[in-house]
Amino acid sequence: MTYTHRYLPLTEQDREEMLETIGVASVEDLFSDIPQQVRYQGTLPLSGPLDEMSLLTHMRELADRNADTDRYVSFLGAGIYDHHVPVVINHMISRSEFYTAYTPYQPEISQGELQAIFEFQSYICELTGMAVANASMYDGATALAEAGSLAAGATKRRQLVVSRAVHPESREMLRTMARGADLEIVEIGYADGATDLDRLRDAVSPGTAAVLLQSPNFFGCVEDLAQAAHIAHGAGALLVASANPLSLGLLEAPGKLGADIVVGDAQPLGISASLGGPTCGFFAVAEPLMRRMPGRIVGQTKDIDGKRGFVLTLQAREQHIRREKATSNICSNQALLALSASIYLSVMGKTGFRETADLNLQKAHYAAGRLTEAEGWELAFSAPFFNEFVLRLPDGTTAQELNGKLLAEGFLGGYDLGGAYPELAGHMLVAVTEKRTKEQIDRFAQRLEACTR
């Protein structure tokens, strides 16, 4: 291969020198240990190389196939929400000292990043009512799985009781973790949109390590965490609560209702939906459990001159201590997105945060009333809800068919519940955030009704 562009970092001479150093004649010789019969024969069916302008045009064409929230009005939630992202967030996280930072192992040159993470931890503790939070995790689903693992280790018990009203993907993640750790998963059904506490009471036993709930749950309904905590603690188990952080602008902090571990996803806090991710998980615990917490923790200290400084502390990952004593093998955090959440909370302040949560609540309830005005449309549950609710569709209407029609009208419809919950076929999970206007909600209701006539 001949290289005609001088700015390419690898020249033919470079290639020859590297091959000579390695001691082979060609790149093909590097694959000699792989049997010929298992190698791909011929040329992969890929398009030819493109020049820069053609490549950019091609990538724009691919991107335009996405139905994003810039061009469509979204009523789709189910874990990823179309919230307002203040402009200042992207401005701040685009600073090179933040977006190029990775691992703050050298505190003397990472004070800015460490302070930002410390602020994130402090915000999470204030929101959740817990004593200690870590430096973020991949997302809410992995945080819940790690919470189950922590509970099993702390209690020396092997059973985890989880509500079916917890996000299906989080429950799947929990099951995956449990298989490797040889833990038993018991799922509890729901009644009128919330966890069936009678079934929970029957399921909890002396072998239960933790009860895992989500509030608001996957259906948007608010759980009775205080009662669940009473049931769990009565059997010597822990209560793990997964929470939408924005809802905590209105709802009581889970820690004050008896939760021992509080997890969730910080995506509603100024993190773009980005067509599904990445997001940022949070993880907070009561003080007795802090030494078992996975991931990183940033602590505040003083240097030899008495000045405030920040360091990584209570490092219990396998990179820092003997593998058999590690609390988790989680190998990174979402520091840049955690910074987004911190900036969001700083910009909004207590008043703005509470007002945004209230807008989500009020607009969702207006939408629920508006959507059920038409004949055949009704709410599936009567339990209190935050910014999501389950809509029962008219007989003979499928959510998949309806969403196809709505997409043609410029709307991203609700989540089809039939896939994850067969008993809820013909039901749609609708999300309404502060970005939805009265006109958009009214137009959505009109199009829903027109699509089912």
DSSP secondary structure, 267-317, as one string: TTTT---TTT----EEEEE-GGGGGG--S-EEEEEE-TTS-EEEEEES--B
Residue 12 pLDDT: 83
CB atoms within 10 A of CB 330: 20
Beta bridge pairs of residue 262: 241, 284
Q: 304 vs 421, which has greater pLDDT?
A: 421
d(CA 21, CA 37): 28
Task: State pTM to two decimals.
Answer: 0.89
Per-residue burial over 358-390, b = 16 or more CB atoms within 10 Å of its CB, e = otherwise: ebbbebbbebbebbbebeebebbbebebbbbbb
CB atoms within 10 A of CB 304: 6
Residue 170, token pair as written in the block = 């989080």
Pick from 438, 435, 449: which is nearest to 76 by CA?
A: 435
CB 232 within 8 A of CB 208: yes
Beta strands in 20-97 (DSSP E): 73-74
CB 341 within 8 A of CB 269: yes
pLDDT tens for each residue of 144-169: 999 999 999 999 999 999 999 999 99
> What's the Cα-to-Cα distance from 93 to each of 241, 278, 332, rounded to whole Å?
29, 15, 18
Residue 349 pLDDT: 96
What is the chain's mean pLDDT, rounded? 92
d(CA 361, CA 221): 12
CB 261 within 8 A of CB 147: yes
d(CA 35, CA 22): 21
Sign of CA dihedral 416, 145, 384, 341: negative
pLDDT tens for each residue of 230-240: 999 999 999 99
d(CA 405, CA 372): 19
CB 310 within 8 A of CB 107: yes
Residue 324 pLDDT: 66
Mean pLDDT, residues 316-339 taken together: 70
Mean pLDDT, residues 33-46 taken together: 90
State the alpha helices, DSSP H only, in 100-237.
111-128, 140-155, 168-181, 197-203, 225-234
pLDDT tens for each residue of 268-314: 999 999 988 899 999 999 999 998 888 888 999 998 899 999 988 87
Which of the residue ranges 34-38, 189-193, 210-214, 364-368 would you say has the lowest mean pLDDT?
A: 34-38
Pick from 415, 368, 147, 360: which is nearest to 248 by CA?
A: 360
Domains of the chain by range and CATH? 73-84+349-451 (3.90.1150.10), 87-344 (3.40.640.10)
